[in-house]
Structure 1
Amino acid sequence: MQLIYYISGSIFIFLTIYIHYFYFLTNQQFVFHSNILLTINEKNKCLNLQNIESTTNELRHKLRNLFDLLGNSFSYNTKDNLKDSRSELFGYLLSEIDQIIESNVDTHKKVLDELAQHINNTLYKLQYPNDCNNRRLLVCYMGLDNCGFGCIIHHISFCLHISTSSNRTLVLENDGSKWYYSAKWADVFEQLTNCEYEKHVRPYLPLSKYKSIDQKDKVLLLRRRFEIEWEFKIPHSPEIAPLEFKEILTKHHTNPPAWFMGQIIKFVLRENQTTSAKLNKVEATFNLGNEFFTGIHVRRTDKRDESPFRGLEDYMKWIDFWYNSEEIKIQNSKQNKTLNKRRLFIATDEPKTIIEELRKSWGSQYELLHNKINASYGNRYYDPQRRSEKSLLAIFAEIRTLAKCRFVVCTFSSNVCRLVYELMQAYRGYAGDNVYSIDYDYAEYWYKKEMISTSDYKAKNKDEIDALEGDIIIFKKQKLNGFIGGLNNRTKKEGKFPISLLKEKFKFLSFPVFSLND
């Protein structure tokens, strides 16, 4: 009953805040008003201990969307008292919701850790067979000249994802001796398998292309995902989680495919002892200390060609929001704790410009942690600087550090941001809401991401689209002011749609190698 009381109180405050800011909004207020009332009516019918956590996760999602909408109704200014009051009020709401969710984190983490161990054991058996001659193999294409670190790791993880679905052992092309970076794969990471390219693959050249799990060829070649999908669709894509884990993951995690991909990527990114020592040396320069910290990843340089520019204010309003909530939780707890200073780790390919701007606007509020301010990673993927071992270690160290943050703001249009989110699930277990993307929701191909409409919606103007409850809405443009650009798969009409009326559409398919009955 106490938990139900907290939820009801949170909903009441949530509605109060909404009404308080009513006159700042235009037609957008209907979206949240109708949606929140719908949530309350539905939850009052079946609110019990089994769905309390589902309810609070949904409320947190709506709260963040409302904060995003209202936040864009004001000009962000670090000296704007109105902004500060609004952020603190939302921080209070988030802290109330988080306290309910966090009461079960240990239980979730225990279950997820056990499942992660099962996955890791299965991958070891698959990748290090007793006799490679008796295994079917999948060769991962490595000629990725226009692909940076995040892109490469996602490609290799895609290969491992497909090899596990088809019960094949994955081998890197030429054992990873020829790839984007100057250092060989084995100079940096543990080899993915004990099967050797020269001994177990070369005798079968030329290789046929991988097309489906039903192929009987002893050895197949898997090229890049976008090349393959021009010809045919691969069902077991990275957006898919094993059906064998569906019941566990839907109960214990908010994003099952991301959690599963995190386990795959963690297996891929097993650095060797030499690299581990080098990474520790790089990370020591970040001055992280023992206190917790948050992080942002700001990608500029060649990212300007891929997505619209986003100012640092877009990142920092979410960091402020998170810290406001955290401070309230600490104040309300009975533990003798204090938050001495807000700490922020900064990962960026333009450190001098970004860090100087952060120091100027937020330096008095935050302790800024970062790599060397004069670090240079090159402006394009073909720059020699980006191919060096030094650059590889720097980006890997920053990704590892971001994945250890309590909360991160970045852009899911970036491979690095998604990699951080996925690794965080492997490091922390239950961290589905610990990363916020300011442009798109989590997906490898954001423009193909499918979400489900949670209620009927009637367009308010010619720029919006209608939907019925259960309609599939496909992302077409990044989120902005509480809306996305979407395509209704039923009506085939494209336009703005309120993101608060959407929920994830998770997909599951069978991966027999991961059976829990063996």
Structure 2
Amino acid sequence: MADWKSFLTGLENKNPSSCKAARKLLCWVKVHGCGLGCQLHHIGICFMMAIGTNRTMLLKFESKNYPTLKSLDKAYLPLSKACTEWSDKEFNETRGIYGNGIKEITNDVRVVKRLVKGPFRPFIPFAPNSYPESLKDRLRPFVSEPQIWWFGQVMSFIMRPQPKLYQELESIKAELGFFHPIVGVQIRRTDKLNLEAEYHPLEEYMSHVNKWFDNYDNTNEVKAVRRVFLATDDVTALQEARKKYPSYTFLSLTNNTLLAANSRRKTEESFWGIVQDLSLLSQCDHVVCTFSSNIGRLVHELMIARSDSPLINATSLDVEHYSWGEITMLRKVIKDHDPQKDGELQLRVGDILKNTICRKTCNGTNRRTGKRGFYPKEKIKALPPTAEYAGMADLFAPS
């Protein structure tokens, strides 16, 4: 399997010695209607384009959500040591990156740009759901979702913590008693509720927590202290959890809960609270959350990227993992299914499904029959496409 630490080190070593002659992608993320998880994902898509076209990415970050925050460099290491800034004149005079869905049309242009104002679909094949062709044979025997593993590698590089943040997180873990095994729970109820997500009671989250710890106890000689790290914007959730589940030890950064309230969400203090919760959730052994939240999906990506254990991942209470701007994947049927109710498809092992949308169930078209309908998502597997990421050519050669 590809060594993710080698991958991160390889990207760090690819910094150009001179920025003047480097192939560059100027990425200006100017998205004002989404939070930190959403903004980080937009940066991630830009970075996939930069790796795919073998360019150094320069980032400018602007957000009305955090008006006093002019850069993410306070929290995360810069993407490049040599190339960090550009002038407005250079950006205005630079051509936008462009492709035809198969390759980059602007490949001969040394410096290109991308202005990100909202969800976008890249014009080149370097986008969520794709992963490098050079890693295909290395990943498939070990990783069930290589496209998420790859996106997680990209996000892990973007989110390498500054030394100060790293030390701060270590101190927080020591103060909380953040020891393994530990399950994370993210409950998002203020800005997401009724707009992007449904209400899920605490019991629904805890049923998955119980199952994880039961499985852990059944496979280990020593029974676990049942620790839960709770990240939430609901000030009543921690009290409810401790009252209903006294046999569990609940850890939480209560000040971050207060900062996540709608009235204080758009402050730099709130930014640091989200950074802390996000980092700690991604270090848990399992997380129960909702993938309708960018933070929930980002945690899953980071967890998949750092481990080849099938137990270290996230469980979503609502939708399956997805990304804005993603490449549509085909699905392959791995188990027969006969319709149980109106609108369901008949499936046979080996059938290929297209135009698939998965939430609690999936909806797609069976190529064999030409019919469209619903079917259980546990009876299919994704077929993520690969792409020739030029920036990966000298990091991992095909096996």
Same fold per superposition (TM over 0.5): yes
Q: C-alpha separation between the residues in 1 aligned to 2:249 and 2:41?
A: 32
Call closer, same or farther: CA 1:323–1:455 in 2, change over 3 Å.
Answer: closer
**Kept in 2: contact 1:404–1:427 (CA 8 A):** no
SS of 2:109's equivalent? coil
Match of 1:361 in 2: 244
The structural deviation recorded for 1:509 is 1.2
Q: Report the residue type matching 2:4 in the other structure.
A: A
1:223 aligns with 2:115: yes
1:269 aligns with 2:159: yes
Q: 2:315 aligns with which of 423, 436, 444?
A: 436
Q: C-alpha separation between the residues in 1 aligned to 2:311 and 2:206?
A: 20
SS of 2:40's equivalent? helix
Q: Report the residue type matching 1:189 in the other structure.
A: Y
More helix by share: 1
1:510 aligns with 2:394: no
Q: How many residues align?
A: 384
Further displaced range: 316-325 or 116-125 = 116-125
Q: C-alpha separation between the residues in 1 aligned to 2:165 and 2:265?
A: 17
Q: C-alpha separation between the residues in 1 aligned to 2:256 and 2:110?
A: 50
Stretches of structure 1 lacking an aligned partner (at least 5 in a row): 1-110, 332-336
Stretches of structure 2 lacking an aligned partner (at least 5 in a row): none
- Return the TM-score normalized by structure 2: 0.86
Q: How does 1:19-58 map to 2 (within 5 A)?
A: none
Q: C-alpha separation between the residues in 1 aligned to 2:157 and 2:53?
A: 18
Q: C-alpha separation between the residues in 1 aligned to 2:96 and 2:162?
A: 31
Match of 1:195 in 2: 83
1:132 aligns with 2:15: no
Kindly, what percent of the aligned residue pairs are identical?
A: 25
Q: C-alpha separation between the residues in 2 aligned to 1:348 and 1:296?
A: 8
SS of 1:296's equivalent? strand
Q: C-alpha separation between the residues in 2 aligned to 1:488 and 1:316?
A: 35
SS of 2:192's equivalent? helix
Q: 2:228 aligns with which of 344, 348, 358?
A: 344
1:123 aligns with 2:123: no
1:454 aligns with 2:346: no
**Kept in 2: contact 1:136–1:168 (CA 8 A):** yes
1:376 aligns with 2:255: no
Instruction: Tell me which structure has the larger Cα radius of gyration.
Output: 1
Q: C-alpha separation between the residues in 2 aligned to 1:455 and 1:284?
A: 46
Further displaced range: 128-137 or 209-218 = 209-218
Q: How does 1:286-325 map to 2 (within 5 A)?
A: 286-288=176-178, 290-304=179-193, 305-325=195-215
Call closer, same or farther: CA 1:316–1:300 in 2, change over 3 Å.
Answer: same
Call closer, same or farther: CA 1:298–1:269 in 2, change over 3 Å.
Answer: same
Q: Report the residue type matching 2:30 in the other structure.
A: G
Q: C-alpha separation between the residues in 2 aligned to 1:465 and 1:485?
A: 10
Q: C-alpha separation between the residues in 2 aligned to 1:433 and 1:291?
A: 12
The structural deviation recorded for 1:326 is 1.2
Call closer, same or farther: CA 1:261–1:457 in 2, change over 3 Å.
Answer: same
Match of 2:345 in 1: 465
Q: C-alpha separation between the residues in 1 aligned to 2:5 and 2:362?
A: 39
* CA displacement 1:128-155 (0-9 Å, x = unmatched): 2111111121111221211211111111
1:155 aligns with 2:42: yes
Q: 2:105 aligns with which of 214, 229, 236?
A: 214
Q: Report the residue type matching 1:349 in the other structure.
A: D
**Kept in 1: contact 2:363–2:372 (CA 8 A):** yes
Q: C-alpha separation between the residues in 2 aligned to 1:206 and 1:330?
A: 61
Further displaced range: 276-285 or 366-375 = 276-285
SS of 1:419's equivalent? helix
Match of 1:105 in 2: none
**C-alpha RMSD of the superposition:** 2.8
**Kept in 2: contact 1:122–1:513 (CA 8 A):** no
Q: C-alpha separation between the residues in 1 aligned to 2:84 and 2:25?
A: 12
Q: Report the residue type matching 1:398 in the other structure.
A: D
Match of 1:40 in 2: none
Call closer, same or farther: CA 1:406–1:315 in 2, change over 3 Å.
Answer: same
Call closer, same or farther: CA 1:275–1:225 in 2, change over 3 Å.
Answer: same
Call closer, same or farther: CA 1:374–1:263 in 2, change over 3 Å.
Answer: closer
Q: C-alpha separation between the residues in 2 aligned to 1:299 and 1:116?
A: 30
The structural deviation recorded for 1:246 is 0.4
1:498 aligns with 2:379: no
Q: Report the residue type matching 1:152 in the other structure.
A: Q
Q: Report the residue type matching 1:279 in the other structure.
A: L
The structural deviation recorded for 1:365 is 2.2
**Kept in 2: contact 1:465–1:495 (CA 8 A):** yes
